[in-house]
Homo-oligomer: A and B are copies of this chain.
Amino acid sequence: MIIRRGTKQDVSSILSLITELAVFEKEPNAVVVTEADLLRDGFSENPLYYTFIAEENKEVIGMALYYYRYSTWKGKTIHLEDLIVRENKRGTGTGFALYKKIIEQGKLDGVKRIEWNVLEWNKNAIEFYKKSGAKILNDWRVVQIDENGINNFINLNS
């Protein structure tokens, strides 16, 4: 198994892994991005995200997808958006290898923090993250307003 940078040729594998994760997270219909979106957004001049690919026998078996954020306390940070290993390849060290690559990328970039989200019922993941030295911030909540919410808010307040 090797870890390498993602390329344009990986876009269909990337989308397939994203969909696999959405199913695992009980949101099978949440994925609206297309291969064309992923190609434009990740592999043009100013990419909105970056990937590492885990490959075995020329087959993509996992991926870590990240981008940069900005903490007004710490400065530039890495956000790990997705860490995904194909179901039949879990427990083989692939997830750990991808995770390690992200931590090393953080070191390379000199960021003061790497951050991500986890579902609170995903106890295995939470244990793994804690053991690795990460902290779970139990007092913060994620808030989102979606496209519908944006449109409604604007209609009500203009």
Using an 8 Å CB-CB cutoff, how does the interface string of A146-158 with B read, 1 for contact, 0 for none? 1111111110010
- A3 CB within 8 Å of chain B: no
A1 at the interface (CB under 8 A from B): no
How many residues from A make CB contacts under 8 Å with B? 69
From 89 to 116 in chain A, residues with beta carbon under 8 angstroms from any chain B beta carbon are: 100, 103-104, 106-107, 111-116
Interface residues of A in 1-35 (CB under 8 A from B): 18, 21-22, 27, 30-33
Closest to A72 in B: B18
Task: State the oligomeric state as a number of copies.
Answer: 2
Contacts of A113 in B (CB 8 A): 144-147
- Which residue of chain B has its CB nearest to the CB of A18? B72
Could you give, for residues 120-155 of chain A, a 1 whenever the CB lies within 8 Å of some chain B CB and a 0 otherwise?
110000100100111111111111111111111110
